Amino acid sequence: MKGQQLRKTIKRYIQMNINKIHNMKKSTCIFLLATIFSANNLVAQQKRATAASDKKMNAFVTNLMSKMTLDEKIGQLNLPAVGFDVTGPILSEGVDEKIEKGLVGGVFNTFTPQAVRKLQELAITKSRLKIPLLFGYDVIHGHKTIMPIPLGLSASWDLSLIEKSARIAAREASADGLNWTFSPMVDIARDPRWGRIAESSGEDPYLGSLIGAAMVRGYQTNDLANKDAILACVKHFALYGAAEAGRDYNTTDMSLIKMYNEYLPPYKAAIDAGAETVMASFNDINGTPATANKWLLTDLLRNQWGFKGFVVSDYTGINELTAHGLGDLKTVSAKSLEAGTDMDMVGEGFLTTLKQSLQEKKITQAVIDLACRRILESKYKLGLFANPYKYIDEERAKTEILSQKNRSDAKMIAEASMVLLKNNNQLLPLKKNAKIALIGPLADNKRDMIGNWSAAGDWKLAISVLEGLKNAAPDMDITYAKGANLVDDPAILKQINANGAEIVADEKSPEKLISDAVSAAKKADIAVVVLGESAIMGGEATSRTNLDLLPNQKELLKALAATGKPIVLVLMNSRPLTLEWEDANIPSILETWFSGTEAGNAIADVLVGNYNPAGKLTATFPRNVGQIPLYYNHKSTGRPYDGVSNEKFKSRYIDSSNDPLYPFGYGLSYTSFEISPVKLNRNTMTSAQTIQATVEVKNTGGYDGEEVVQFYIQDIYGSVTRPVKELKGFQKVFLKKGESKSVTFTINNSMLKFYNSDLKFASEPGDFNVFIGANSRDTKSSGFSLTK
């Protein structure tokens, strides 16, 4: 164990056992002291080693830069897109020639050992200084073995599985020539209209922080020099998820106190975990777009947070500052560099204007040098100067990519992401001898299984639900009927087909599709209906104003419900949908997101009960679009509504409940759990003390299963208003049927801290509520006080 980690473990141990220290055996005390001593020694040793290797790196980079021309330095700041994918509005040209001239620092959207070798060879054999290139790509939820979309992944509440998913992605990507992923996206997302909520970990800063850090560890490992480590890129810095009206690329405007308490923590956590690169977001932040925002990229990111890597713009993010109204390309390029953007993705504003800005003394040589140095340092840390072909290994690509092991891990991860929203009368799991009508445009579908932003994933390798059911229950009697086109809505169809969805209407009329499905349902014992969005309706540039199931699918579902047959609704979607009708009329609902290459096998295992679902929502499901943004950790208002009375002057709607349909943290299991009242081992603490909050969790149902026990705190009175509750911890516990376990959370001073109106991070003495439960709504509570 590394020194820092060892120190953290000891600190945690001492915090948990602080109450017992006076009773501790002398030998245990001596052992603890000795371990602390050796951890301190290790940390000191590591510091010396880091200082020595930093010195070596600095000398190398200084020497290299002393040979570079101004053009070559500016060239390092250039990141063109070339290759297989189009992820923005324009494409780069003349890239090979620019590489030969030393005018490219890295490229993205190119992979495979062969394609990467071709470009790397140009840099190494043709360019004057032989500086290796970076190869970036959007490896978002897997490279070729695709795992659930990030919103689904986060619903596993399983940090080690999440880290594992990033590790699988990095191993495959690094074997395919890549050394940089544009992930993790850690934007807090509280608006399901925004299509990119799919790429997020939902609405909570605490959970989002843990997930961001786990992803960084998974991608980068503990040493970038490892052969299967790739650079992580924390994006989109910052506040991209708070786009007004949920419309992509839109403005954000937010108080500093909200930023610091609610939106910035996941970026900070990912950077603290060692992320080597950061991507500036497209959006305006309180008047200055992120790409040109010096306060954000220099004062906060580097000076306050100590970030040492480099910042890349988003796709043409610098050029877009002209449309934002900040000036012409020369002006905005200079502003972006000055602000702290080091690398220009696709736009070539740096390449074409920085030299002139320098001549006109609009920028200094020092800022160009600094940006160039940062990029060269990252290449050095990856070991690219030692071996520019480090990531090009055809043999490794053959064994690593889409291996049986990766696929079986992907299935396990997919299962963990699924959330059981409703299960009346234990309709699920399906009885293996039941006669099933499998219905819906996503039931016998491979194309959509891998979801949006599925990198190099090949949908043809994905498993459909129909295939999955045949694998999981070969003897099951299944009749399939499509029931509806995936999308009939002309406006949506026009937009998504123009962007590659290739959805064609079935030869059968919509009426005939429905009547065939209804007769299949009538002949069966149960209808399993697989509905949702097209994968391409989620991710970048897919904002929606209506979150109901698409009208043609809803018509199908209503016709099926009218048969009186029991229905299991299996959902696939990139965002929370509005499902009030479905919740009221359909007995069983399973949310499966888009769960990747192994989707069908994972869904089938859940449906037949080979796996007992344990996922929990990380983004609130609203009842209707009018409630958005709706999130559990909101403020109280001065006129909170109790949800029952008809009083007029309360913070409420006259046409809708305030409450979500499914709250943050919500998800059922095939078994049931009982959580006891919360017991605190004391009711007051000073800032140096801790309190233990304990509950007994009992599996009271008929299956073994897992429960995510969630722990929330409310700071009742503060110098500023505080959320009604905030997640501060959780434990995923496995319980055999009938088994009980006690689950303890340790309350310490640091989890009571928040940024006050002076942006000082401190706790305030006073009263607190503790809530423990199976989701953010259904909790048991207790209280304690923090004294001076």
**Least Å distance between CB 315 and ligand NOJ?**
4
> From the list 310, 315, 662, 666, which residue makes contact with ligand NOJ (rule: CB under 6 A)?
315
Q: Which is nearer to ligand NOJ, 83 or 88 (CB)?
A: 88
Out of 314, 400, 415, 582, point to the residue binding ligand NOJ (CB under 6 A). Answer: 314
Asked whether the CA dihedral 314, 317, 318, 324 is positive or negative, the reply is negative
Tokens of 67: 């040979």
Closest C-alpha among 227, 234, 431 to residue 314: 234
Q: Are strands 705-715 and 726-735 parallel, antiparallel or unpaired?
A: antiparallel
State the angle between helix axes of 404-417 and 159-175 in degrees (0 to 180), rounded to the nearest 10: 150
Binding mask 224-263 for ligand NOJ (x = CB under 6 A): -----------x----------------------------
Distance, CA of 668 to CA of 591 (rounded, Å) = 11
Residue 314 or residue 400: which is nearer to ligand NOJ going by CB? 314
Residue 469 CB, nearest distance to ligand NOJ (Å)?
Answer: 35
Please spell the DSSP secondary structure of 81-126, one letter per residue. Answer: B-SS---SS----SHHHHHHTT--SEEES--SHHHHHHHHHIIIII
Contact call for residues 126 and 101 (beta carbons, < 8 A): no
Select 280 or 517, whichever has its Cβ closest to ligand NOJ. Answer: 280
Q: Is 284 in the site for ligand NOJ (CB under 6 A)?
A: no
Tell me how far apart the alpha carbons of residues 428 and 566 are, in angstroms, rounded to a whole number. 11
Query: Residue 172 CB, nearest distance to ligand NOJ (Å)?
Result: 18
Cα pseudo-dihedral 103, 106, 110, 111, rounded to 10:
130
DSSP string, 631-659: -TT----SS---SS---SSSS--SSS-SS
How many Å apart are CA 222 and CA 381, to the nearest integer? 12
475 is catalytic: no
The smaller minimum CB distance to ligand NOJ, of residues 87 and 251, is found at: 87
CA distance 788 to 774: 32
* CB contact set of 665 (below 8 Å; sequence gap of 6+): 616, 617, 618, 632, 708, 710, 727, 773, 774, 775, 776, 777
> Taking CB positions, which residue lies at the least distance from ligand NOJ?
87
By the rule CB under 6 A, 138 interacts with ligand NOJ = yes
Instruction: Tell me which residue has tokens 């199931």.
Output: 549
**With CB under 6 A, what is the number of residues at the site for ligand NOJ?**
8
- What is the nearest approach in angstroms of ligand NOJ to the Cβ of residue 87? 3
Q: Shortest Cβ distance from residue 240 to ligand NOJ (Å)?
A: 8
Cα–Cα dist 663/580, whole Å: 13
- 236: preceding bond cis by omega (within 30 degrees): yes
Task: Report the distance separating Cα 659 and Cα 778, nearest Å.
Answer: 13
Least spacing, CB of residue 760 vs ligand NOJ, in Å: 33
Q: By C-beta, is 138 or 715 nearer to ligand NOJ?
A: 138
Least Cβ distance, residue 543 to ligand NOJ (angstroms): 13
141 is a site residue for ligand NOJ (CB under 6 A): no
What residues contact residue 438 under an 8 Å CB cut-off, 6+ apart? Answer: 444, 465, 466, 469, 478, 479, 480, 481, 528, 530
Contact yes or no for 560/488 (Cβ under 8 A): no
Please say which residue, 14 or 90, places its beta carbon nearer to ligand NOJ.
90
Least distance CB 183 / ligand NOJ (angstroms):
8
Which phi and psi angles does 227 have, rounded to 5°? -70, -25
Of residues 477-516, which lie at the interface with ligand NOJ (CB under 6 A)?
none
In whole angstroms, the minimum distance from the beta carbon of 88 to ligand NOJ comes to 5
If the CB atoms of residues 251 and 627 are measured against ligand NOJ, the closer one turns out to be 251
CA distance 453 to 140: 6
- Least Cα distance to 597 among 400, 397, 408 occurs for 408
Least distance between ligand NOJ and beta carbon 232 (Å): 12
In terms of CB distance, is 108 or 754 closer to ligand NOJ?
A: 108
Q: Rounded to the nearest 5°, which phi and psi values hold at 775?
A: -165, 180
Q: Are 482 and 560 in contact (CB under 8 A)?
A: no
Q: What is the Cα–Cα distance from 446 to 465, expressed in whole angstroms?
A: 8
What 3-state class would DSSP assign to 779? strand
Q: Which is nearer to ligand NOJ, 140 or 602 (CB)?
A: 140
Of these, 88, 142, 309, 457, which contacts ligand NOJ (CB under 6 A)? 88
Closer Cβ to ligand NOJ, 262 or 540, answer by number = 540
Dist CA 748 CA 767 (whole Å): 14
Cβ atoms < 10 Å from Cβ of 25: 8
Q: How far is the CB of 345 from ligand NOJ (least distance, A)?
A: 7
| Measured CA distances, 59 to 54, 56, 208, 215 (Å) | 8, 5, 38, 31
Q: Does 540 bind ligand NOJ (CB under 6 A)?
A: yes
Distance CA 704, CA 700 (A): 10
With respect to ligand NOJ, which residue has the nearer C-beta, 193 or 235?
235
> Nearest distance from residue 320's CB to ligand NOJ, in Å?
11
What burial class does residue 768 get, using C-beta atoms within 10 Å of its C-beta: 0-12 exposed, 13-18 middle, 19+ buried? buried
Binding to ligand NOJ by residue 87, rule CB under 6 A?
A: yes
Q: Which of 158, 176, 187, 314 is catalytic?
A: 314
CA 344 remoteness from chain centre: 24
By DSSP bridging, strand 180-181 and strand 134-137 are: parallel
Select 163 or 540, whichever has its Cβ closest to ligand NOJ: 540
| Residue 336 vs 588, nearer CB to ligand NOJ | 336
Contact of 615 with 730, CB cutoff 8 Å: no
How far apart are CB 235 and ligand NOJ at their closest, in Å?
A: 6
* Catalytic residue set: 314
Chain residues in the site for ligand NOJ (CB under 6 A): 87-88, 138, 182, 235, 314-315, 540
